[in-house]
């Protein structure tokens, strides 16, 4: 909601800095340049202002007490406020710059800033916003009517129905799904269709933090609570007051903290680290996991009482390999998004590329498909994207399952060749044992033998055609003596 009707002003800018002199100097410079400027002394105050008023650009400091600049950028991204963000800081680092850009920051400036450069970046940010709005913003609203849950498969339609049933309630939701299936997207949909949709949506990626830091992130801490706690910090539960909190990959929380989390879910109260003051948590909790929680409980890695408390309404996301009819729709969706984001003409896929997508098993799920599409669009020279361009990216070791019995068959392999390779691979898996191979394939031993002969797989010497499971199949007579075979049979 970054657009507004401006009078003679060039644009509306929100400056966020806890140091009065710093924010006032930025505000003065921009006001002299013809911009309408509003100042906020903290990130929390800035988020409140963004909910009440539309802005074109947010300029934020990096280091601020409580919620810092990076967290503010994440929140702006999470809440899809559509505003362009610039970060100004005296503590510039490559890592913070990369993190800021990754979460949607337009650019990054280091103090002391050059006023001319600042005005140029603000103008560029506003121009970029005008390119994205209203077209892209309106399309994102249309997309959000279904909250980005693209697909017409039966499983996706059933998921939408379940979300519409559970969202209006305040019940805890537990989202199951492999990595990359879109668990956070579903969490956003639940929040967006709930009575809390106008309040904050806050997420915590549990695996990204050490056990020592997660408690502080969840509940906040007081100054001096532990080494390095130089300032008071607001936790995620306080940030989400009145809204929704997503605990992403909740199985990564250790057992000690699980007990404290259970208390929050049951009693709706908590204390900051280093403080005994009890605070109330008016928050809807959504949790997600890529593991089977019942197995985690059985293994002693997850509290059973917390599991039962969380699993009030489970939502299961299907992996992309089980959504065959949705792959092409998702590909087109990501092509369209990439064109808008990169400000390039819409890229197209050749028919062989679509066949490749249809046959691939997508171990990285929807996230892998989006990354592949984005990469192809970034490198595209205007020609339709072919399977030859995509194939190397799908064959990277980290994107294939190590448990595959055979290498993935190339697109275009005939059914006869696929059957032959599968039969031979299964036979080799069972060390040449025809009875076990036939049983695994669901065919008779005679049928298997006939197919092997048609493949030219006949043994080099006469073989024993035994079906006794105690005798290895296809053992050449010349490789063992009669006494040796007799010993096997008697065993």
The pLDDT value recorded for residue 399 is 36
pLDDT tens for the chain, 491 residues long, are: 433 333 334 688 999 998 888 888 899 888 888 888 999 999 999 998 888 888 889 999 888 888 888 889 888 887 778 788 988 876 655 566 666 776 777 777 777 778 888 888 888 788 766 655 433 333 333 344 456 788 888 888 899 889 999 999 999 999 999 999 999 999 999 999 999 988 889 888 888 777 767 888 888 877 766 666 667 778 889 888 999 999 999 998 989 899 999 999 999 988 888 788 888 889 999 999 999 999 999 999 999 999 999 988 899 999 999 988 789 989 999 999 899 888 889 999 999 999 999 989 999 999 999 999 999 999 998 899 999 999 988 855 343 333 344 445 566 667 777 788 888 888 877 778 888 787 777 788 788 887 887 777 654 433 333 333 333 333 333 333 333 333 333 33
In 3D, which of 46, 35, 39, 31 has the Cα closest to residue 15? 39
Token readout for 195 is 């009575």
The structure's pTM equals 0.54
The two beta strands, 244-248 and 284-289, are parallel
Token readout for 229 is 């706690």
Token readout for 21 is 């002199």
Q: What H or E segment, with its residue span, contains residue 328?
A: helix 327-342
Token readout for 30 is 């921009």
Q: What H or E segment, with its residue span, contains residue 163?
A: helix 154-166
* Residue 345 to residue 347: CA distance in whole angstroms: 6
Residue 151: exposure state from Cβ atoms within 10 A (0-12, 13-18, ≥19): buried
* Residue 187 to residue 286: CA distance in whole angstroms: 7
Could you give the residue ranges of the DSSP H alpha helices within 68-153? 69-78, 94-102, 115-132, 135-144
Residue pair 334/327 in contact (Cβ under 8 Å)? The answer is no
Token readout for 467 is 């079906």
The pLDDT value recorded for residue 70 is 86
Supply the DSSP string of 240-286, one letter for each residue.
TTTSEEEEETGGGS-HHHHHHHHHHHHH-EEE-BT---EEE---EEE
The b-or-e profile of 8-46 (16+ CB within 10 A means b, else e) is eebbbbbbbbbeeebbebbbebbeebebbbebbebbbeb
To which residue do tokens 């033998």 refer?
A: 449
The pLDDT value recorded for residue 37 is 92
Torsion of CA 246, 252, 257, 262, to 10 degrees: 50
The two beta strands, 107-110 and 84-89, are parallel
Q: CB within 8 A of 145, min separation 6: which ones?
A: none
Q: How far is CA 176 from the centre of its chain?
A: 13
In 3D, which of 481, 482, 483, 478 has the Cα closest to residue 460? 478
* Residue 292 to residue 217: CA distance in whole angstroms: 25
Token readout for 293 is 């929680």
The pLDDT value recorded for residue 461 is 39
Residue pair 6/12 in contact (Cβ under 8 Å)? The answer is yes
């Amino acid at each position: 909601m970054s657009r507004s009707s401006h009078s003679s002003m060039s644009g509306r800018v929100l400056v966020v800095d806890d140091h009065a002199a710093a924010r006032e100097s930025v505000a003065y410079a921009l006001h002299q340049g013809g911009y309408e400027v509003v100042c906020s002394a903290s990130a929390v105050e800035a988020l409140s202002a963004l909910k009440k008023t539309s802005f074109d650009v947010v300029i934020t400091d990096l280091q601020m007490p409580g919620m810092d600049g990076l967290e503010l950028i994440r929140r702006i991204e999470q809440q899809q406020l559509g505003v362009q963000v610039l970060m100004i800081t005296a503590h510039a680092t490559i890592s913070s710059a990369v993190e800021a850009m990754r979460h949607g920051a337009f650019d990054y400036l280091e103090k002391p800033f050059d006023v001319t450069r600042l005005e140029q970046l603000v103008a560029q940010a506003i121009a970029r916003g005008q390119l994205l709005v209203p077209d892209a913003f309106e399309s994102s609203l249309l997309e959000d009517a279904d909250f980005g849950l693209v697909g017409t498969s039966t499983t996706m339609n059933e998921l939408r129905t379940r979300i519409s049933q559970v969202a209006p309630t305040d019940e805890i939701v537990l989202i199951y799904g492999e990595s990359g299936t879109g668990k956070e997207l579903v969490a956003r949909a639940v929040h967006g269709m709930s009575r809390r949709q106008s309040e904050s949506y806050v997420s915590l990626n549990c695996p990204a933090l050490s056990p020592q830091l997660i408690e502080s992130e969840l509940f906040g801490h007081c100054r001096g609570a532990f080494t390095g706690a130089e300032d008071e910090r607001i936790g995620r539960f306080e940030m989400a007051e009145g809204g929704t909190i997503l605990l992403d990959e909740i199985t990564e929380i250790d057992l000690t903290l699980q007990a404290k989390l259970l208390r929050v879910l049951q009693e709706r109260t908590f204390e900051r680290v280093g403080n005994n003051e009890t605070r109330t948590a008016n928050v809807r909790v959504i949790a997600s996991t890529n593991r089977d929680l019942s197995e985690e409980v059985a293994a002693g890695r997850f509290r059973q009482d917390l599991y039962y408390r969380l699993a009030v309404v489970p939502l299961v996301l299907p992996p992309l390999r089980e959504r065959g009819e949705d792959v092409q729709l998702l590909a087109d969706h990501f092509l369209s998004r990439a064109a808008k984001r990169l400000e390039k003409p819409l890229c197209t896929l050749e028919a062989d590329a679509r066949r490749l997508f249809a046959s691939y098993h997508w171990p990285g799920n929807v996230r892998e498909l989006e990354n592949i599409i984005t990469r192809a669009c970034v490198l595209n020279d205007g020609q339709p994207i072919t399977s030859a361009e995509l194939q190397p990216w799908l064959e990277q070791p980290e994107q294939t399952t190590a448990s595959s019995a055979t290498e993935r068959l190339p697109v275009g392999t005939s059914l006869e060749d696929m059957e032959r390779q599968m039969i031979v691979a299964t036979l080799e898996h069972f060390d040449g044992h025809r009875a076990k191979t036939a049983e695994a394939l669901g065919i008779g031993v005679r049928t298997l033998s006939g197919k092997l002969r048609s493949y030219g797989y006949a043994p080099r010497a006469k073989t024993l055609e035994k079906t006794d499971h105690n005798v290895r199949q296809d053992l050449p007579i010349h490789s063992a003596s009669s006494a040796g075979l007799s010993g096997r049979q008697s065993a």
